[in-house]
Structure 1
Amino acid sequence: MREFELTVQSAEDVVGERSFHAHIAPRWQGMQSKSGSEISIPDDLEEGVNLHVQGSNIEFDRYQPLIQHAARAVGINSRYFDELHEFSTILDAERYVRVDKNESGPVHARDGPIAQLGHLLENDRTGRRKLVQYDSDEDARDRPGYYHTATLGPRRVLEAFPSHELPKEVKHYYAQHTVSLDNNRSIAHPKVGTSYQRSFWNDQLDASPADIERLNRELEETLLSVLAEAGLPLRAGTGTYVKDAYFTPTNSERDREIVELDFTRIKHRQESVVIKHLADGIAPTAWESLEVLVTDGGEVSPQDIADETGRHPGSVRRALDRIPELVEREYEKVSVRSKYIADLVHDAVTEAKEATRRAAEAGAKAIEAAERGLDQSTSAFIAWAAKHDIDVRDRDGDELRLEFGIVDDIKRKLREGYELWTAADMPEDRYRMAKVRYKKEIDSGLRSIDKTEMKSFASVAWHHLG
């Protein structure tokens, strides 16, 4: 039995990219392939025609009437295509806007919506995790934002868009070989798009008008939300959007219904989950399991964690069950729920190790001070400095130097040191005149407190203590 191919192209399109290709294959019950295997046919269909249609730059609801028109053109009765079978399935679809390349940077920036969707809403380790950030083309030429995508399954999409279900890919991309094109050509400017990703879920969209409208709504709302999050205007005529051969920028009615991408809310929710568990205390087995999850680069199972930590697999599974907000379990695979949570846990693990090291060092220095004949109050100051990773330089003839690491509340730390220093009968003026250096976590930049500021602070501290 022969199968046929049909190509349909817009008469006004000289480039040939507003077109579709249809593969037409007759089907009937009991039909077998050349190898002898039976071809799956819906039970309620005695005989029919299977069409696989692939096109571009055509509105989704235009495909069916265009297929009928094309059928008539080659002598096929168009009534065969009046109704689509309920098994008809949408395999792929995308909505896009073309953005001026001088305006699209916030979309693909490292802290832009695509990167944040990928880091905050995608699982830390699954078989289909996808965050792509290519900034050079096929010829290794620099092109910032050349191909950036974040792909989200239904559960992750729901976190960002509570009314959405369809798995999607958000993308910012250039056509191939556009680096050297003149800015006057529309193709020199990138597309920002959202596409439906059927392979990321077990459900499907049929080709009914209702599902086509659902598809349109979710893709357009997602696209508008990403543009709004990047700070781009959602109106035509602003110079942000570029007309191309197929579409002219027009205003959408959906911009009144866009879903705000509240990454701050998502971050706070994930931070609160981590803080809750750390504050409540995590059992040693759960803590060790988290450490393996955030430091291992491959797929991890409870058995892998047990082998790594020397724990019984049953103990590992029970420990993981106690922290469901932090980890996600599917079959025999375990992962941290998001890249952001993984980063927070990794920082906590690192800090715990560092705190243990500092505590051990503090104890050693206190013992050393005692062995050198220093009194208990002096030992307490030395141990405090070691515990908080403060480098104390107290040499004769030089000013006292206190070098802190990252500190959130430098005044509180200095007050603690001041109390221990004076309790050890150290010269008050020497502490007040100390050279202090520290880092603030907000930007990790090194900062200094000069003597004037230090004197002022010490006076306040002295008045408070007095």
Structure 2
Amino acid sequence: MRHEGRCDTEAVSQCRYCRETHTRDDDPAHHLKSCEAYQRAEKRLEEQGNSDATDTDEATEAAGSDDEHFARTFIDPQPHEFHAYLKWNCEHLDNPLRSYFGLRSLQGEHDFEQHGWLRTTTEIDGSDWNVAFAFKDSGFAPRKTDNFELEEVKEYRIYVFPKGYDSYADAKSEARKRAYFCISPRWPDMETKEGNKEMSSTGLEGYNVQVEGSYWDFEQYPTVLRQSLDALATRQGFRFNSPTPIYPADFDEDRLHSSSNIVDAELYVRVLLGETGEVIAYDGTLHEISLLLAGDREGYTKSVRDDRECPGHYHTATIDSRRAGELVGSHELAKEFKHYHMRNPDAVEGTALENPKIGVSFQHSIHDGTVYWSDLNTLITELDEALLNILNWSSIPTRPDGQMFVADDYFEVTGSRRWRKILPDSLPRIETKQDDQIFGTATQMNETDTELVETLLTDGGETSPKDLAHSIGVHLDTVYRALKRLSPLVDHTYGEVQIGSKYIAQELTGYIDSVSNSIKSGLENALDGLTRAEAHGGDDDPWSRWLDRYGGEISRTEGADPDKLDVGFQPDSLAEARRLLRSGASQWSKVTDEKIRKFAFEFAPKITLVDGRVYEPRHFADALGTPG
């Protein structure tokens, strides 16, 4: 198998200051702390300031001129959807729930039946915003203490939306910037009305706040909540002379509890209509991600292609935590890659919104573990890197390009200097790796192995080793031994068995018949030991093993003509035959220390396909690259 492209120590980037190379797992920020060349450059940059805009433009161009440099100016993505559960522990206060009682006091001052939600306004980032206040039943039983005098436990809802809209629902229907907060009290040993324990309080005494919103910077939500509470506090005292006050400072970000966690977050860019073909094509980036990384039987892994409204209307590819690191080294978050238009694309024709978004979002439901608020910077970096790599692999610039990106009300075509890991397209390497796994494993299958694979390919739903043993009529131990041999192609975890990826399943479907036929015809035993021993030194080198594996026979010729190489194994297609010869050339090159292209001048290969066609290339050297 080819080692290139899968080695953990392979250099994938280079510091543009000291030229030190870095692997996928290296942290650029950590390197910069000890990079003297970077420190000197930053000092010079600080001294120069912004005195010459032309020089700045030239420096930016130079920084982005070499794809090997991982430090340069990148397009700034726009935060989109966000969902989190933020928690505040106020047990240090004399009355940890004082702001909750303040919200209850505000509820009592307003006639919701006659006037509907309580509404006020506030200013955030220089713009006016509506703030609406409502409540609902929480389902929790009142606290069993003397100082908790409420008969019902309510949850308080706060809606923040643009001043020009009559309601939060109207703003949401038009995809405007907005935020929603649901404040629920928490105390130790909290119970529902049915007597069940509340499981998310982690023993804190304070608040659990559900947060949802769009288009705010993720780190801004605690500030928006606090400013909204400030606005609501000004509405107290109109009916009660001595209302119980609300204390917005109780919700300062520096008081967030460590169990605060994030369940959804998305970054996006908007790209010019007609320039995203490589993203949404049937052989494009999203489809390749789904095909190469999606498990064969995992129900949560999905690929969506909805072109009913317009081409590329809603396309997604979802990968779990385990696959994330295969796509971009050191990544750990389950995520969804998206290409999508507005719900009704005809209604926005001729506007900026007719252009599609490309986004990457965190997928909490299939993530292994929890992403806490303290992980926010890591989350942003990983989503940003994933989005930039998708653009790069789809021939879309990663720098701010006014000819390629389209600004909308929230996304701006601006860039910033930051350290991101940008890789050569990982997808061909993953495909090559899986091709190698198929050739390296499938050609050594015995009859039990082929029956097991055929069963996995034809039977839907979940399959266990026990079910496989019953299906193919062998002992369970035999199945376990087969699974061990087939481990590069088959995943066996927690009693479930599946083909490693949809791509492997697709390739095996056409390949398994030729393997079965080879086994039945005995071609795997058609070996010429004397000839193989004669070929470059012994039976235990990679070239000899390749000849053994594929039934290769070498016939010497007179003069300068290349020796004849007849391959006994019968592949299913010409593409498989070509891959087979390329793998043989690679093994021969390892043994002889010759350039791989010279293989074509040493041997005249011949392979007979399952359907009887003969592959006997006359210009095989062209497939092995140019000399050197």
TM-score (norm 1): 0.72
Q: Which residue of 1 aligns with 2:450?
A: 287
Conserved 8 A contact 2:342-2:353: yes
Q: Does residue 86 of structure 1 match 2:258? A: yes
Conserved 8 A contact 1:8-1:19: yes
Aligned identity (percent) is 34
The runs of 5 or more residues in structure 2 that have no matched partner are 1-152, 234-245, 524-567, 579-607, 620-628
2:323 partner SS: helix
Does the C-alpha gap of structure 1 residues 356 and 337 become closer, same or farther in structure 2, counting only changes over 3 Å? closer
Q: 1:175, 1:269 → 2: CA distance?
A: 37
Residue 311 (structure 1) aligned to one of 474, 481, 490: 474
Does the C-alpha gap of structure 1 residues 307 and 224 become closer, same or farther in structure 2, counting only changes over 3 Å? same
Does the C-alpha gap of structure 1 residues 198 and 256 become closer, same or farther in structure 2, counting only changes over 3 Å? closer
Does the C-alpha gap of structure 1 residues 336 and 347 become closer, same or farther in structure 2, counting only changes over 3 Å? same
| Two-structure CA RMSD over aligned residues (Å) | 3.2
Q: Which residue of 2 aligns with 1:432?
A: none
Q: Does residue 7 of structure 1 match 2:167? A: no
The higher-RCO structure (CA 8 Å, 6+ apart) is: 2
Q: Does residue 99 of structure 1 match 2:271? A: yes
Q: Which residue of 1 aligns with 2:496?
A: 333
Does the C-alpha gap of structure 1 residues 149 and 252 become closer, same or farther in structure 2, counting only changes over 3 Å? farther
Conserved 8 A contact 2:188-2:203: no
Post-superposition CA distance 1:376-403 (Å, at most 9, x none): xxxxxxxxxxx999xxxxxxxxxxxxxx
Q: 2:247, 2:400 → 1: CA distance?
A: 42
Q: Which residue of 2 aligns with 1:74?
A: 232
Amino acid at match of 1:194: V
Q: How big is the shift at 1:123?
A: 1.2
Q: 1:104, 1:12 → 2: CA distance?
A: 34
Q: Which residue of 1 aligns with 2:369?
A: 203
Q: How big is the shift at 1:25?
A: 1.0
Q: Which residue of 1 aligns with 2:437?
A: 273
Q: Does residue 215 of structure 1 match 2:379? A: yes
Q: Which residue of 1 aligns with 2:280?
A: 108
Q: 1:127, 1:6 → 2: CA distance?
A: 36
Conserved 8 A contact 1:221-1:254: no
Q: How big is the shift at 1:11?
A: 4.3
Conserved 8 A contact 1:236-1:249: yes
Q: Which residue of 1 aligns with 2:404?
A: 240
Conserved 8 A contact 2:186-2:201: no
Post-superposition CA distance 1:248-274 (Å, at most 9, x none): 121243486323332221112111122
Q: How does 1:160-171 map to 2 (within 5 A)?
A: 160-171=327-338
Does the C-alpha gap of structure 1 residues 85 and 152 become closer, same or farther in structure 2, counting only changes over 3 Å? same
Q: 2:461, 2:450 → 1: CA distance?
A: 19
Q: How big is the shift at 1:353?
A: 4.8
The runs of 5 or more residues in structure 1 that have no matched partner are 138-142, 361-386, 390-403, 411-439, 447-455, 458-466
1:3 partner SS: strand
Residue 54 (structure 1) aligned to one of 192, 212, 221: 212
Q: How big is the shift at 1:94?
A: 0.2
Q: How big is the shift at 1:181?
A: 3.1
Q: 1:191, 1:408 → 2: CA distance?
A: 38
Amino acid at match of 2:368: N
Conserved 8 A contact 1:224-1:255: no
Q: 1:31, 1:23 → 2: CA distance?
A: 18
Amino acid at match of 2:385: E
Post-superposition CA distance 1:275-319 (Å, at most 9, x none): 12234x223212211111122232222222223212222211221
Q: 1:199, 1:347 → 2: CA distance?
A: 34
Q: Which residue of 1 aligns with 2:192?
A: 33
Q: How does 1:109-258 map to 2 (within 5 A)?
A: 109-137=281-309, 143-178=310-345, 180-208=346-374, 211-254=375-418, 257-258=421-422
Post-superposition CA distance 1:313-354 (Å, at most 9, x none): 221122112221111012221011112222232222122356
TM-score (norm 2): 0.54
Between the two proteins, the alignment pairs up a number of residues equal to 367
